[in-house]
Amino acid sequence: MNLQLLQTRLGYTFQDAGLLQQALTHRSHSSLHNERLEFLGDSILNCVVASILYERFKAIDEGDLSRLRANLVKQQSLYEIAQKLELSQFLRLGEGELKSGGFRRPSILADTLEALLGAIFLDTGFDAASTVIRAFYIPILDSVDPQTLGKDAKTLLQEFLQSKKISLPQYNVVATHGAAHSQEFEIECLVPKLNIQVYGRGGSRRAGEQAAAKLALDVAEQALLKSPAANRKPKPRAAQLKLAGIATIQSDDAAVAAHTQQKSTPA
């Protein structure tokens, strides 16, 4: 295990190698594991990310700052950073976790990243941990839209339609599939003024609505981009474009690919 390689990727060299070892140690490996360091690192991470957002987005209110921070420090975001560091190759796991693929588990990788931040703090202090965290997040913030980051598809669709003075979408359950313990909901999303009718599927009603909203937003943006007048009331007997599609989502937090079909309906 080349720990120098990991330290190069972190941009930080530990004075106390024992702290680095502990930060990489899962509880399945030994009694001297990283959970306390993870607790510490989580608090430091939240503080530094909050500071970055406060400095960077001076016109954003407290509610939106909280939304941004929550999205940036959630497990999936930490997992993606850990993946870039290729952190899985440095984990110290017990035999059971190794056999079950624990080195690929998002929760373990995210927790280990937080533990590393806690270890850096103990090794040389807050400023060092802050420098490492900023190196992780500044490039991310350079490439995201603070107005949409962390908002779900239903919220984004609602805001988009309101900005165009279009009535809010309608959601209807059109079918349920599967056994009672593993049902999949098929949800219809309608935006009548744009003649949009799309369908989303998910393991809960909410998940299905989110999938349908994501597809509806994509279709609405494309429709208005192609036809600037599309958000005005159509003339009587004018040809109507009906857009339909299917989107699938397996959980409330995971969006998957959507397939759309476009067809013209008779006037």
- List active site positions: 42, 114
Question: What is the distance between the alpha carbons of residues 177 and 50, in angstroms, rounded to a whole number?
Answer: 43
Would you tell me the crossing angle of helices 3-10 and 75-85 to the nearest 10 degrees?
A: 120
Beta strand 258-265 with 196-202 is unpaired
DSSP H or E run through 207? helix 205-226
Q: Is 241 left (phi over 0), alpha (psi -120 to 50) or beta?
A: beta
Question: What is the distance between the alpha carbons of residues 154 and 161, in angstroms, rounded to a whole number?
Answer: 11
Question: What is the distance between the alpha carbons of residues 96 and 146, in angstroms, rounded to a whole number?
Answer: 41
Dihedral sign for Cα atoms in the order 169, 171, 174, 179 = positive
- Three-state secondary structure readout of 9-47: HHCCCCCCHHHHHHHCECCCCCCCCCHHHHHHHHHHHHH
